[in-house]
Amino acid sequence: MEYIRLGRSGLSVSRLVLGTMNFGSQTSETDSHAVMDRAHEQGVTMFDTADAYGGRPGEGVTESIIGKWFATGGGRREKTVLATKVYQSTGQGPNDGGLSALHIRRAVEGSLKRLRTDYIDLYQMHHIDRNTPWDEIWEAFGVLHRQGKVLYFGSSNFAGWHIAQAQEAARSRHFLGLVSEQAIYNLMSRWAELEVLPAARHYGLGVIPYSPLHGGVLSGVLRKQREGGAVRSGSGVWAAAFAERRASVEEYEKLCADLGEDPAHVGLAWLLAQDGVTGPVIGPRTVEQVDGSIRALGITLDEGTLARLDEIFPAPAPNGAKPAPEAYAW
């Protein structure tokens, strides 16, 4: 396993992040515990979750599964950089969601109880809250920091200008502010390169890409279809993305075959090669999938391969070929 600082902070994290969204919905508690054990065995130290995960809104099912795993001892909590999120609705009341000081206080207490820990390493805003002023948010977070309940703060699904707003407001309060942004980012969805990644680099945030394989579309979907295997991207938005860009996926899988590598591993390796990326969030449902993801760390994509991937899945380039955000400054 490789390790890297999380943005400009002094916190070291693994270059692969264990995503736990499947725990409690697609993966049983027993299997979830096995996945977390194997992640630790492979050197994965950063675990990402949210109070909304688990398939039953308001119950924090996934956090509870992780908390039970921590409670089994063996230094599991101490070896884990624990990240969870706040914003989503946790009940039916008018203050049971968002980023008000009241909801933040209630949400963090609920997460700490379910996770069976007295502190959270990285507390992430799951979405922007356009109805709550930044002074209120940072004041509430400052209280949690002084109480020792949260060590670092991050964002998720923020636009570049949201990151700027957050950081400038934190600076005015002499507060460290955000150290990370969790964004959807992969070869098929490169919109984050327009402003989110430049903003994150400017302010010293580590970028944690989620959906690194675009819902399974980049995991070798065509090969799996030929082999008669289960295809995760067979429905919903992922199916539409596959249908729209089937020709590109065909070229991608051919390139991966020429490299002698699994498409899923190449997709992760490409993210690991991007400037500012801390580590992609992997979402294994089995122990075997944990082991498979580790292979990405051993893949070095040369300049020719990176250029070919840019041809297959071009980066968004408004106003010509200049890289963003300078592309707008004509």
Nearest to 35 by CA among 51, 49, 19: 19
Distance CA 269, CA 298 (A): 8
Distance CA 208, CA 99 (A): 21
CB 187 within 8 A of CB 309: yes
The strand ranges marked E within 213-275 are: none
Of 53, 185, 210, 252, which is the active-site residue?
A: 53
Q: How many CB atoms lie within 10 A of CB 133?
A: 12
10 Å CB burial of residue 151 (0-12, 13-18, 19+) is middle
For the chain, how far is it from start to end, CA to CA, in angstroms? 43
Distance CA 182, CA 164 (A): 15
Kind of pairing, strands 46-48 and 281-282?
Answer: unpaired
Q: What DSSP character marks residue 57?
A: T
For residue 315, give the amino acid letter. Answer: A
Nearest to 20 by CA among 55, 50, 56, 58: 50
Instruction: Output the CA–CA distances (angstroms, integers) from residue 71 to 65, 77, 122, 214, in the order listed.
Output: 10, 8, 20, 33
Q: Which residues pair with 17 in a beta bridge?
A: 46, 281
* Alpha-carbon 104 to chain mean position: 21
Whether 185 is catalytic is no
Could you list the active site residues?
53
